[in-house]
Amino acid sequence: MSNVLFYVVIFIALHLSVVLNINNLPIEQVNFPLKENPKDYFPFVLYPLAGFDGAHYLLIAKVGYGQFQQAFFPLYPLLISTLSKLTSISVLLSGLIISWVTLVLGIIFFGKLSKIIIDNPGKSLWPILFLLSFPSAFFYIAVYPESLFLFLSAGALYFIFKKNYLAASIFAIFSSLTKVQGVFLIIPFILSILDPKDLSLANIFSEIRANYKKLIFILSPIYGLLIYSFYLAKTYGDALAFYHVQEAFGAERTSRGIILLPQVLFRYFKILVTSQINFQYLIAVLELTIFATVFAVLIYDLFKIMKNRTKNLDYLSINLYSIAVLLLPTFTGTLSSIPRYALLSFGFFIALARIKNIVIKITIALIFSIVHIIIFVYFLKGYFVS
């Protein structure tokens, strides 16, 4: 616990030092994304941590949902609003406090997960190192729901593996009230009741029937989504408004059907071949590189798990869950924001930690850190990086 707290405090302090010195960096400042005066948010010096989606979360916390903002799930802005009203502090400060506190809690649970999956205690800190050094990990200390989701989803996974289904269900419901990817926690719920020696569809259905009393817990990841969908249907007449408004955010997202991954990859291939090299081009390269890297590692790891006759279902659960949360955003036809969504693919960081060569692991962490610093600075300057 003390080690985790130390790492997270250092992580936050280093990022804040960059924020406080951002005006000294020779990069042009881009306008803030909302028309409101950023100086209305105290302390103004920290407002760059609320860029893009963060600005929407603050506005939802202040006045409720506006046009097209249904894409942002409700738990994070609700917590911001509640803390702000109870303490009389600004919504900006409330959002940062929630992100920083849940980051500590999330890293604690993620560390516990790593110890369950990795039987070598000497490697159990590596997943945390890879997670915090990952290029987009700065979103954990910004006004974004990533830290809250890390805490809730890692907590749900931990309690699933410990067979504490009541606690796991509570965490899972709140997870899917934070981000839609929380519904994929149903995968580890199902696998937790199976026999690792027989993962056939027939056995899966047989085990579910045999454990029908646990079905209320197994389906809990869906409940949060249903609660939000019910609210959207009652308030806006569209239970899937969170999906239907995706096109309003550009990046060539679509809500008209599902776009398959090969189509998305072909589009990015065209971008790399035909587009002019500029900042947007480099971000497209970053999106494709991170997606390809994370996806390839997870698929390779899945292949190794399935070859193991005595399968570790906990490890398989995290792997399949990680693949699902990585693929979901691609169905809208783009890899936009994939660097941020990749933070949810916990299995990727655990897979990297299982690499035996220490030099390779240090090299990966250094590359992650360098890219992390670069895109964090551009994010603070108002450039869309994920």
Closest CA to 346 of 110, 145, 106: 110
Print the domain residue range for 272.
Answer: 2-380
The answer to whether residue 20 scores a pLDDT higher than 80 is yes
At 26 the pLDDT is: 77
- Asked if the structure places residue 386 within a domain, the reply is no
The first and second tokens of residue 307, run together, are 């070859």
Please report whether residue 385 resides in a domain: no
Contacts of 253 (CB under 8 A, 6+ apart): 246, 247, 332, 333, 334, 336
The conformational region for residue 142 under phi > 0 = left, psi -120 to 50 = alpha, else beta, is: beta
85 found inside a domain: yes
SS3 content of the chain, % helix, strand, coil (to 5): 75, 0, 25
Total count of domains within the chain: 1
Q: 98-140: per-residue pLDDT in tens? A: 999 999 999 999 999 999 888 765 567 899 999 999 999 999 9
Kindly report the CA angle at 153 between 47 and 190, in degrees rounded to 5?
155
Can you give the pTM of this predicted structure?
0.93
Whether 368 is covered by a domain: the verdict is: yes
Q: What is the pLDDT of residue 215?
A: 85
Q: Is 286 part of a structural domain of the chain?
A: yes
Work out the angle at residue 270's Cα, subtended by the Cα atoms of residues 266 and 272, and round it to the nearest 5 degrees: 115
Closest CA to 128 of 15, 137, 385, 304: 137
Whole-number pLDDT of residue 253: 56
